[in-house]
Amino acid sequence: MNPKSILIIGGGIQGRCAAYYLVKEGFNVKIIDPKTDDTGASYVNAGYLTPSHIFSIANKGMIKKGLRSMFNSSSPFYLKPSLDLDFIDWLWKFYQSATPGNVERSIPVIRDINILSKDLYTDMHNSMEMGNFQLDESGVLMLYKTNKAGDHEAEVAQRLIADGLAASILNRQQLDQLQPDLNEEVLGAIHYKCDAHTTPTELMPKLKTYLESKGVEFIHEEVIDFRYDGSSIKEVITPQNNYAAEAVVMAAGSWSQGILKKLKLHMPIQAGKGYRIDLYRETPVKYSAIFLEAKCAITPMKGFTRFAGTMELSGINNKVRKERVEAIAKASENHYNNLKITEEEKNAARFGNRPVSPDGLPYIGKSKDFDNLYLATGHAMMGWSLAPATGKLISELLTNKKTSMSIEAFHPDRFR
Ligand SMILES: Cc1cc2nc3c(=O)[nH]c(=O)nc-3n(C[C@H](O)[C@H](O)[C@H](O)COP(=O)(O)OP(=O)(O)OC[C@H]3O[C@@H](n4cnc5c(N)ncnc54)[C@H](O)[C@@H]3O)c2cc1C
């Protein structure tokens, strides 16, 4: 029998976008998430929609960077040594996934889901169902200070252009026309006009208000267990209640692996912590920009400018590493003239955990062990960008429709 009610575990962008498409199909939806504030990955991210990001994070370059960074907690990618078994298992799978063949095979899949998702964001925006929200399509500038980084990115751009995506290679003079006030060390940029940006702190509450108006219930409780019978989840359990489950969508981001253990499922995910600094004042930033060497993402959001970045694999914890916040501030000041980030602004930095799978691809689909469990998690660096596509694909699975694209590469059981 087809389910009528869906329980979604996790109210980040994946949970909310799944709910968005599921209510359109007439399902009765509840989102269970203990969080009531605006913290975490779905609020602190850079807001990019990224058809240009075609490479998975699982590649040999990241392994080299990870090994080097183990002794330097201020480097853009920091891997804290740990004997945690899940972490060691994840690292091994990451190492095995990071082959040139896998990277190459994942490129069209990552590109296609990004394009699908950007189109869906555009539909969502144009529908005005949530009123107006920022969807800025001026693109992202990849700024470089070394010819090595510029040449490599130019090759990526050529590849995207050949695939029909809008990108152009800018020398310093052309770049100055778009983004004045750059430090003299910036040599040029690739302008990915195919990319866009949004303001997560604007869209997250708008989505919630919209969903509530459509009858979605937000339950502020923590899922701690399940009752299941053979291949079927019967109840989702919180300290306060047992919820009867017809179908369950797992969208608990970095916490998904721990929760899935209650079902004896092993789905490797590590938290990839990143930070953001927000400046509520005039800044030189006109365009979204990524610093190719320092790996920071800068976004002119609605009402403020966001400086975000760094990837820290150190488990799930609430530790704010000041040296990492400092690194984002310093890199930003070294790219724009007349930019100084104050101590107060740095002290107000926040972090979020990206849910990173070992091959950098999300888990989207149905687990073979449970007939009523759907996965929408593990989106790593692209979870904001890929959320509408993920939600749409989950709704298609639950209504037995042909999916908008092949989801084989995202199979939740691929590491088993
Ligand atoms: C600094 C930074 C910059 C980024 N920039 C970008 C970007 O520009 N573009 C992009 O596409 N992506 C970006 N990302 C990645 C993106 O933010 C994440 O991939 C995405 O937000 C993950 O969404 P999620 O819903 O899966 O997880 P989350 O937002 O983490 O939501 C998971 C939810 O599950 C809840 N939960 C946890 N445990 C339980 C439980 N036991 N029971 C119930 N609920 C539970 C949590 O409270 C949380 O609300 C960035 C991330 C960071 C940190």
Provide mean pLDDT across the span 157-169. Answer: 94
Query: Is the pLDDT score of 65 beyond 80?
Result: no
The pair of structure tokens assigned to 232 is 């079927």
The answer to pTM > 0.95 is yes
Q: What CA–CA distance (Å, rounded) separates 389 from 208?
A: 18
User: Given this model, what pLDDT does residue 69 score?
Assistant: 67
Query: Is the pLDDT score of 132 beyond 80?
Result: yes
**Which residues are within 8 A (CB) of 201 and not within 5 positions of it... i.e. 6 or more apart?**
38, 43, 301
Q: How far is the CA of 247 from the centre of ligand 1 (A)?
A: 22
Q: What percent of the chain has pLDDT over 90?
A: 90
Q: How does strand 373-377 pair with strand 247-250?
A: parallel
pLDDT digits (tens, 9 = 90+) for 381-412: 999 999 999 999 999 999 999 999 999 999 99
User: Given this model, what pLDDT does residue 70 score?
Assistant: 65
Q: Which of 186, 88, 216, 29 is nearest to 178 (CA)?
A: 186
Q: How far is the CA of 293 from the centre of ligand 1 (A)?
A: 25
Tell me if 33 CB under 6 Å of ligand 1. yes
3-state secondary structure of 152: helix
Contact by Cβ (8 Å): 60, 100: yes
Q: In what order do the strands lie in the sheet with 28-32?
A: 217-219, 28-32, 5-9, 247-250, 373-377, 363-366
Mutate to test the pocket of ligand 1, among 379, 386, 390, 394 (most ligand atoms within 8 A of CB): 379
Mutate to test the pocket of ligand 1, among 16, 20, 36, 42 (most ligand atoms within 8 A of CB): 42
pLDDT digits (tens, 9 = 90+) for 270-304: 999 999 999 999 999 999 999 999 999 999 999 99
Mutate to test the pocket of ligand 1, among 250, 381, 382, 385 (most ligand atoms within 8 A of CB): 381
**Which residues are within 8 A (CB) of 406 and not within 5 positions of it... i.e. 6 or more apart?**
109
Q: What CA–CA distance (Å, rounded) separates 201 from 39?
A: 9
Q: How far is the CA of 355 from the centre of ligand 1 (A)?
A: 7
**Which residues are within 8 A (CB) of 365 and not within 5 positions of it... i.e. 6 or more apart?**
374, 375, 393, 397, 407, 410, 411, 412
> Which CATH superfamily is 5-410 part of?
FAD/NAD(P)-binding domain (3.50.50.60)
pLDDT digits (tens, 9 = 90+) for 350-384: 999 999 999 999 999 998 999 999 999 999 999 99
Which of 219-241 are b and which e, b meaning 16 or more Cβ less than 10 Å from the residue's Cβ?
Answer: beebbeebebeeeebebbbbeee
Tell me if 381 CB under 6 Å of ligand 1. yes
